Amino acid sequence: QVQLVQSGGEVKKPGASVKVSCKASGYTFTSYYLHWVRQAPGQGPEWMGIINSSGGGTSYAQKFQGRVTMTRDTSTSTVYMELTRLRSDDTAVYYCAREDGAVAGIFDFWGQGTLVTVSS
Amino acid sequence: DIQMTQSPSSLSASVGDRVTLTCRAGHPITTHLNWYQQKPGKAPNLLIYAASSLQSGVPSRFSGSGSGTHFTLIISSLQPEDSATYYCQQSYNTPYTFGQGTKVEI
């Protein structure tokens, strides 16, 4: 069965960086794109960007350009999302989500989420 | 960015009721509209994609319709396990955007 297992919660100070991992299993890793979506407390989800699990190409939401980097390791079927220059409003649950193989922008499987707390 | 607006923000209904949730897009998105269910502390779960296609494993009491800028999610007979927040999301173009959600209470 398809599983996306994320790394554990993080507490960071403003200005620091965080790197969250997402390990995929139960399907051919390189056949599907993966996205990162975050959700601040009490808010709707917010799309951050996408990574091509095969070639490694990325596309980021303009809001996060210059602060976010998404990478992948095909040997371990893992994708990573690093966010730098953290601010208090980056406090959120960060999810990886697999894109449906047939149609872009549909998220058919999600990780369990990683809470990132930014606080001084 | 395409703004997605959901209404109502919350509702309370009884088991067996027919419930209608609405989502409006700020720009025409044809049928590139998806619905997710989220329970507290859990990740969103895909219910409906392409406005009206039921995701595998989702009960048939859920249905979706609409095109352009106006979309609806209908729960034909509300069940206790349907208590959750429902989000619409446009997949017409990036950045993909979500609504602010409708919280359904039983």
Query: How high is the pLDDT of residue B6?
Result: 98
Does A100 sit within 8 Å of B49, measured CB to CB?
A: yes
- Measured in residues, chain A has a length of 120
Query: How high is the pLDDT of residue A68?
Result: 98
Q: Does residue A102 carry a pLDDT above 90?
A: no
Helix then strand then coil, in percent of chain A rounded to 5, is: 10, 50, 40
Q: Does residue B69 carry a pLDDT above 90?
A: yes
Element spanning A12, H or E: strand A10-12
Does A44 sit within 8 Å of B43, measured CB to CB?
A: no
Of B34, B43, B99, the CB nearest to A106: B34
Measure the CA–CA gap between B29 and A115, rounded to whole angstroms. 32
Confidence of residue A103 (pLDDT cuts 50, 70, 90): confident
Does B87 sit within 8 Å of A45, measured CB to CB?
A: yes
Considering chain B, what is the average pLDDT of its residues?
97
Q: Which residues in chain B are closer than 8 Å to A45, comparing Cβ atoms?
A: 44, 87, 89, 98
Confidence of residue A1 (pLDDT cuts 50, 70, 90): very high
Q: pLDDT digits over B25-63, tens only?
A: 999 999 999 999 999 999 999 999 999 999 999 999 999
